Structure 1
Amino acid sequence: MIPESWIPEILSPQFTWPRPISTVIVEGTPLVPRVPSKLSLRTWGFVHSLLASFSKRYCSLWGVYSTFSCRELLFGLVLKWTERTSIEEVMAMKMARAAGMPVPKVISCGKHGGWVSILMTRLPGTPLLNSDEQFDADAEGPWVHELKQCLHAMRLWRCPTDSKYIGSVIGTAIHSIRVPMHRMGPFTYEAELLKHLLSPASMHSFISTREYEATLLRAKRLNMRPHRITFTHGDLQAHNILVDEGHLSGFLDWESGGWCPEYWEFTTSMRYAKSSWWYQTSYWLGGDQYMPELDSDKALNTLTVDSYVGLW
C-alpha cells in the first residue's frame, strides 16, 4: 500500500472534483447530444479495457476495494462498466449536466460487444440512506430544495420530436428495473405503455378471480386522465443522491433516464415502504400530486411483479 503522504491528492482514488455549483437550473430543453460513431465507441472501448486492467492494479496498491461495475482511477475519474450501462444513459447524463445539474462529466464512452462503458468524473459527497425517520424539509439541508429545483426544471422540458413520445432521449427503449424484460418503449402514446406494462399480468398472486379483476381495474385507471410526457430520471432513489456539506453534490445513475409520463418519476420511487423517510421525501418533492396514479401503480406491481423481479 502506498503512503498517501507521498502522493499528490489528485492521484488518490479518493480525489473528487469540486461540487458543480449552479444557482440556476436551465428550464429550457437542452439539446440532445450527438451519438458517438461506431469507430469512436470501438476505439474508446479498447482504451477503457486497458484502464480497467490498470484500475485493478491501481486499487490494490492503494488498498481500495473496486467493484467490477465501478472501477476507481486516478485524476478523479471512475470507469462504469455494467450490463445495464448504455449509450442512452450517456445522452441523458449529458443533457442533465448541460442544464446545470450536479451530474458526473462524461469523458468518453466505449463499446465492448453488447456492453457499454463510461469514463466519467468522480463527484464529492455521501449517498443518502433511507430510514424509518420522519422527513422534515425545514430540518434538512439545502440539498432537498436543490433537488426539487432539478426535478422542476426537468418536468418543464419537452421532447423535441413528439410531446406524447415515451422512450429514451435518442429514440430507443428505456432501461428500467420495474418493467417486463427491464426495457420499455419506444411508444407513441401512453396507452401503448400501459398495454406493455399489463402484458405479463397473471393471477399467480391472487386467491380468487374476483380479487384479480378488481386489481386489474385499479391498474387500468392509469389511463383515466391524460398525463404530460416529461424528462425523467427513472430511478429516483436515496442512494442515487450525493450530499456534500448539506448541498446536492451528485445526481447519479441515469440508466433509466428519458421521456416518461409525469407520474413515473414519483410512483417508481414511492411504490414501497410508505412509512420510510424516502417515501416522505418523494411525496414532498412532488409525489403528492400523483396519489391516484400511485394506487394504480401498486396494483400494476402486484399483477406483474413476477415478470421482472430477479432478472436484474
Structure 2
Amino acid sequence: MQRGWPGNAFWHSCKTTFRKIMSCTIPMFRRLWLYFPRRTHALTYRLLLQVGNKMYGRTLDWVQRVPFGLYIKHGPGKFVPRGEGPALKLVEQYTKVVAPRLIDLLTTESKTYLVMTRIPGIPLQEAIQSFSYAERSQLAADIRGCVSQFRQIPNPNDAAICSADGGPTFDYRLEDPAGPFDSEEAFNKHVIFRKSLRSAIHDHRHKIFFSHADFSPTNILVERGKLSGIVDFGCAGFYPEYWEYAKGIYGHFGLETAWPGSLSDAFSGLYKDELAAEKLLWENGNSF
C-alpha cells in the first residue's frame, strides 16, 4: 500500500517514535508554563510569531507555524473561535484521535493566542488522487474510528447544540455565531429559512454528538498513504449526528468523487436523506 510514497521507512519510524516521546512531555510542559506571568506568555508568542514567519513563511494571516513543533492561531475573536480551545481539551481528555494538543489559550486586550502542537502530514487534498483504492478504504475506516471516538465525548453544557464551551456555534454554514440551541427543532428553525424548503427528514429526531464540523480535505492530514491527524477544530461542538457528514460533503460534490466517496464510506452510506435536505438549502442560498 505504501509503494510509491517517498521517504525512508527507517527515518519515518524514528520520527514517529520521537513524536510519541515528545507527546508524553506535553502535560508537564503545560503545567510548568502556567507558572510564568501572562505578560511573559504574550511576549513569547509575539516573538515566536516573528521567528516562525521568517523560518516557515506565512500561509494564513491568523495561523502561523512556529519553532518547537507548535502552531499559533492568533488575532481577534472571529479568527480564534472561543470554543476551539475547549474542543481540543475534550478531544485530548476523551479520545485517542491524533489532533493538536492545546498548550495555551491567552486573551489580551487586543488579541487572542491559541497555542497548539503541530500534527505531521500534508492535507489530504494534495494527496488523495495518489491514493490506491485500498488506501482510500483504510482512510474511510480510520475516519470512521475517529468519528466513533468523537461521539463518546459527553456534553458538559446545558445547551443541546452549541460550541464546545456551551456558547454559540461558530459555523460558516449557520452564518455564525448561532445559538446555542436547546433542541434540534430550535436548531432547524434557524437553519430552515423558508417553510417550503423543509424536508420530511427535518421531522426526524437525531442524536446529538460532539462533531469536528469542518471535515474537509484541507483539515484531514495524511502521511505515507495513511491518516496522520485531524486539525482545525474552530467549528467543533455538539450537533445533530448527520452534521459531520453533510458539512464534510459541502463544496466537494460534482465531478470530483474521491473525497465524497471516502466520506460516504466512513459513514457507512448513512444520512443520504439529510444530505439531500441540506443540498436543497445550500442551492437556495442558505449556505456559507
Is the 1:166–1:190 Cα contact (8 Å) retained in structure 2? Answer: yes
Query: 1:161 Cα shift?
Result: 4.4
Is 1:250–2:245 an aligned residue pair?
Answer: no
Q: Are the equivalent residues in 2 in contact too, given 1:128–1:240 (CA < 8 A)?
A: yes
Which letter maps to 2:186?
A: E
Q: Is the 8 A contact 2:150 2:210 kept in 1?
A: yes
Residue 300 of structure 1 is matched in structure 2 by 281
Change (3 A) 1:126 1:19: farther
Structure showing the higher helix proportion among its residues:
2
Contact 1:17/1:76 (8 A) holds in 2:
no
C-alpha distance in 2, partners of 1:197/1:147? 26
User: Retained in 1: the 8 A contact 2:219–2:231?
Assistant: yes
Offset, 1:290: 0.6
- Who is 1:52 aligned against? 49
State which drifts further: 141-150 or 279-288: 141-150
Determine if the alignment matches structure 1 residue 226 to structure 2 residue 219: no
Partner of 2:69: 76
Work out which of the residue numbers 239, 242, 246 in structure 1 matches 2:218: 239
**Distance in 2 of aligned mates of 1:128 and 1:277:** 11
Q: Which amino acid aligns with 1:75?
A: F
> Could you tell me which of 88, 91, 94 is aligned with 1:96?
91
In the TM superposition, residue 289 of structure 1 has moved relative to its aligned partner by 1.2
Please report how far the alpha carbon of residue 145 of structure 1 lies from its aligned counterpart in structure 2 after TM superposition.
2.3
Q: Are 2:140 and 2:265, in contact at CA under 8 Å, matched by a contact in 1? A: no
Which residue number corresponds to residue 271 of structure 2? 290
Distance 1:107 1:132 in 2: 31
- Inter-partner Cα distance in structure 1 for 2:163 and 2:110: 18
> Quick one: which amino acid aligns to residue 248 of structure 1?
L
3-state secondary structure, aligned to 1:86: coil
C-alpha change, 1:20 and 1:281, in structure 2 (3 Å) is farther
What are the residue-to-residue correspondences of 1:247-286 with 2, within 5 Å? 247-272=226-251, 273-275=253-255, 276-286=257-267
Instruction: State whether residues 94 and 106 of structure 1, in contact with CA within 8 Å, keep that contact through their aligned partners in structure 2.
Output: yes
Q: What aligned pairs does 1:1-312 form with structure 2 within 5 A after superposition?
A: 44-56=41-53, 59=54, 62=55, 64-67=56-59, 68-82=61-75, 83-98=78-93, 99-113=95-109, 115-129=111-125, 138-140=134-136, 142-161=138-157, 165-180=160-175, 182-199=176-193, 201=194, 216-272=195-251, 273-275=253-255, 276-286=257-267, 288-305=269-286, 309=288
Q: Distance in 2 between matches of 1:171 and 1:284?
A: 31
- For 1:299, the aligned partner's letter is L
Per-residue CA shift, 1:51-72, capped at 9, x if unaligned? 323434xx2xx4x322322222
Amino acid at match of 1:138: A
Secondary structure of 2:80's counterpart equals: coil
Percent of aligned pairs with the same amino acid = 25
- Two-structure CA RMSD over aligned residues (Å): 3.2
Does the Cα contact within 8 Å between 1:134 and 1:280 map onto a contact in 2? no
Question: Cα distance, 1:106 vs. partner?
Answer: 1.5
TM-score, reference length from structure 2: 0.76
Residues 133 and 125 of structure 1: CA distance in aligned 2, closer, same or farther (over 3 Å):
closer
Which sections of structure 1, spanning at least 5 residues, go unmatched? 1-14, 22-36, 202-215
1:19/1:270 Cα in 2 relative to 1: closer, same or farther (>3 Å)?
A: farther
- C-alpha contact (below 8 Å) 2:122/2:222 kept by paired residues: yes
* C-alpha separation in 1, matches of 2:110 and 2:17: 31
Task: Provide the rounded CA distance (Å) in 2 between the counterparts of 1:255 and 1:220.
Answer: 29
SS for the counterpart of 2:83 is: helix
Distance in structure 2 (CA, Å) of the matches to 1:197 and 1:178: 9
Larger Rg: 1
